[in-house]
């Protein structure tokens, strides 16, 4: 995202970019258009995101610098967003049936 694009965002959207690396609108679009969502459901998306975050902090690929740690943090935040948006209700109840 360019500086000009970031500066044009609302304060809420800037907060989302700091937390997730993208806006919630962009995230929702990516999740809902994903083939994984269509065939396996949101739980598989969460599991995949968490696996990706694990790989980002795997020291077998070298020292974990700030950028890798930040990418992993944002990936985990995206996974939590999918979990709370598509799988769990505010009280912690499961709202989306698991596929399989």
Q: Residue 82 sits in which domain range?
A: 11-87
Q: How many domains does the chain have?
A: 1
Global pTM reads: 0.86
Is there a domain that residue 22 lies in? yes
Q: Quick: pLDDT tens for 51-60.
A: 999 999 999 9
Cβ-Cβ contacts under 8 Å for 69 (sequence gap 6 or more): 56, 57
How far does CA 16 lie from the centroid of its chain? 11
Is there a domain that residue 16 lies in? yes
Is there a domain that residue 26 lies in? yes
Is there a domain that residue 94 lies in? no
Q: Quick: pLDDT tens for 43-98.
A: 999 999 999 999 999 999 899 999 999 999 999 999 999 999 999 876 767 776 55
User: In angstroms, rounded to a whole number, what is the distance separating the alpha carbons of residues 91 and 10?
Assistant: 29
For residue 94, the cross-strand partners are 88
């Amino acid at each position: 995202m360019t500086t000009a694009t970031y500066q044009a965002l609302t304060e809420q959207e800037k907060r989302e970019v700091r937390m997730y690396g993208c806006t919630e609108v962009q995230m929702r679009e990516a999740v809902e258009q994903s083939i994984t969502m269509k065939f396996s459901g949101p739980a598989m998306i969460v599991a995949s995101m968490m696996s990706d975050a694990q790989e980002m902090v795997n020291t077998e690929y070298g020292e974990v610098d700030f950028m890798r740690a930040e990418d992993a943090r944002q990936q985990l935040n995206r996974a939590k967003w999918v979990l709370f948006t598509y799988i769990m209700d505010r009280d912690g109840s499961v709202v989306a049936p698991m596929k399989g």
